[in-house]
Amino acid sequence: MSTAVADKTSLPVLPLQNGPKIDYELVLDCVHCGLCTSACPTYVETGNEADSPRGRIYLMRGVIDGKLELDETVKEHLDLCLNCRACETACPSGVQYGKLIEPFRLHMAEKEPGRMVKSLNWVQRQMLFGIFPSRFRTRLALAPVRMMQWTGIDWLMKKTVMKLMLADAIYPETQIATARVLQKNGCEVWIPRNQGCCGALHYHAAMEPQARELAGANCTAFGMTGAEADSVDAIIINAAGCGAMIKDYEHLMHGTPQEEAARKFVAKSKDISEFLMAIGPIAPNHPLPIRATYHDACHLRHAQQVAKPPRQLLEMIPELELVPLPESELCCGAAGSYNLTQPEMAEQLGDRKTANIRATGAKAVFMGNVGCLMQVARHLKKTAPDIWVAHTIDALWASYSGEMPAGLGK
C-alpha cells in the first residue's frame, strides 16, 4: 500500500573480512536478560532458546566471532524468525534487533544466492517479486481470478493466489475509505500515479539492491528529490509493513545519492492512525453497536511504536464496545512472505491468534495491516466465518458514513 532514522548509521560496520555488515556495538547492546523471550512468537511456540531473540543474537555473535560455524542448524533458527520486532518493544536495553537480523540474512544470502526464496516455487516468486510490485500487473493478473469468482469456480483461487494478494487488488474499499476519511478531516488527498512497491518484500528476502531501487523510485515519485518536496505536508500509509519499511528508507539509502531524499521521505511519513490523532480527528457520529477487538500488527506496534492511536480512533465510534485481545502484540504469522517460506509456524501462529480472537466473544476484529487481514481472515473463515475482519479505517469510515456491514450484531 501507499506510503526510522537509523540511530547508528554513522558508526563503522563490523571490520571482518567477508563477514556480515553489522555494527558490532549493536550486538553488544544485548545484555541477555531474557525479557524478550515471552514476546517472541517462535519461542512461545517451540520453547527453544535458539528460537528466541536472545538465542539468535548468541548465534549471530558466535558466527561473527568465529566461534560458531554458520551451518544448516544455525540457518534454520535464524530463518524461523518472523522479524516481527516484538523483542524491540520488550527490550529494556534498546536492542535494535531488526538491524541485526536483516543484514545477517543478507550475509547468508550472499554466501548462498537465492536461499531466502528457495522454498518458493516459480509461480510464487513471479507473483511476489514480479507482479506484486506493480499495481498494473497485479490488477491484470487478477482478471482471471475475478472471472473465477463470478463463475463460482473460485476453489482454485483459494488454493493459489488468495495467499498472495496485495492491498490495491484485494482491499480496494480500504484504500477508498482511507482517502475519504482524510477528506472528511479536511485534508487534500494526492495520489502519485507513478508510486510503486515500498520494497519490503524484496528487502526481507535479502534482495537489497532491488529494495533500494524501489525506494529511490518512490522518493522521486513523491517529489522528495526536488524543490516540490515542501508541497506535501504528510505521506500517509495504511499498511504497517509498508510503513515500517518506508520509515527505514534513510537507513536503507545511507551512503547513496538519494539519502537526503530518503530523509525527507521519512520525516513526512505517518501511519493513518497516528496522523489523524495528531491533527485531532472529527468525531464520527453513526453508531456501530458491536463488540470488537483490536490486533496489533507487528510492524505498526513494534517497528513503528504505534499502539494507542488506532485504539483511540476506535474508541471514538459510538456504541462500539472495544474489548482487549489476549496476546494482541504476538504475531499472527503473516509476516510478509513468511506464511509461504515457513508455512508450518505461520499456521500455528494463525491458529493461536484466531483462538484468542474467538475467546473475546467479539463480532469484529480490526487491525492496520493488509498481511494480517489476509492471515486472520483465512484462519477465522475455518472456525468463525461470521466475525468481521477489517482495517481500523474501514470501521471509522463506517461510523462517518453510516455504511454498515450487513449482518452484524452485538
CA-to-CA separations, 197 to 4, 123, 243, in angstroms, rounded:
18, 19, 11
Residue pLDDT, tens place only, 168-226: 446 788 999 999 999 999 999 998 888 888 998 888 887 888 899 999 999 999 988 87
∠ at Cα 161 (155, 166), nearest 5°?
Answer: 135
Whether residue 366 is contained in a domain is answered as: no
Instruction: State how far the Cα of 157 lies from the Cα of 142, in Å rounded to an integer.
Output: 10
Please indicate, yes or no, whether residues 75 and 134 belong to a single structural domain of this protein. Answer: no
**Same domain flag for 69 and 208:** no
Q: How far apart are the C-alpha atoms of 115 and 205, rounded to whole Å?
A: 9
| Domain shared by 192 and 235, yes or no | yes
CATH of the domain at 74: 1.10.1060.10
Say yes or no: 140 and 88 in one domain: no
pLDDT digits (tens, 9 = 90+) for 292-318: 999 999 999 999 999 999 999 999 999
Residue 28 CB contacts under 8 Å (≥ 6 apart), including other chains: none
Cβ atoms within 10 Å of 87's Cβ, excluding its own = 27
How far apart CA 227 and CA 363 sit, in angstroms, is: 48
d(CA 352, CA 340): 18
Is there a single domain that holds both residue 132 and residue 217?
yes
174 domain residue, yes or no: yes
Is residue 88 situated within a structural domain? yes
- CA dihedral (207, 17, 55, 51) positive or negative: positive
In a domain, 140, yes or no: yes
- The residue range of the domain holding 180 is 122-276
In a domain, 303, yes or no: no
181-184: list long-range contacts, CB under 8 Å, 24+ apart: 181/272, 181/276, 181/393, 181/396, 181/397, 181/400, 182/236, 182/272, 184/282, 184/400
Give the global pTM: 0.84
**Are 204 and 272 part of one and the same domain?**
yes
Task: Please tell me the predicted confidence (pLDDT) of residue 41.
Answer: 95
- What is the count of structural domains for the chain? 2
pLDDT digits (tens, 9 = 90+) for 326-351: 999 899 999 877 877 888 999 999 99
Residues 75 and 194 in one domain: no
Tell me which of 276, 297, 332 is where a domain ends.
Answer: 276
Domain termination residue (choose one: 67, 94, 113): 113
| CA of residue 371 relative to chain centroid, distance | 7
DSSP output for 276-332: HHHH-PPPP-S---SEEEE---HHHHTSS---HHHHHHHHTSTT-EEE--TTTTS--
Order of strands, edge to edge, in the sheet holding 321-323? 321-323, 291-294, 364-367, 388-391
Residues 43 and 179 in one domain: no
Most distant pair of Cα atoms in the chain: their distance: 62
Reference 253, options 4, 20, 26, 14; nearest CA is 4
pLDDT for res 10: 41
Residues 188 and 250 in one domain: yes
Q: What angle do CA 245, 249, 255 make, to 5 degrees?
A: 145
Q: Same structural domain for residues 138 and 269?
A: yes
Q: Do 129 and 64 belong together in one domain?
A: no
- Which amino acid makes up residue 81? C
Point out the domain boundary residue: 78, 95, 113: 113
10-residue mean pLDDT profile of the chain (410 residues): values are 39 54 90 93 96 95 92 93 94 93 87 66 62 61 58 52 51 90 95 88 84 92 79 92 94 92 94 97 95 96 96 97 95 86 92 97 96 93 94 97 73
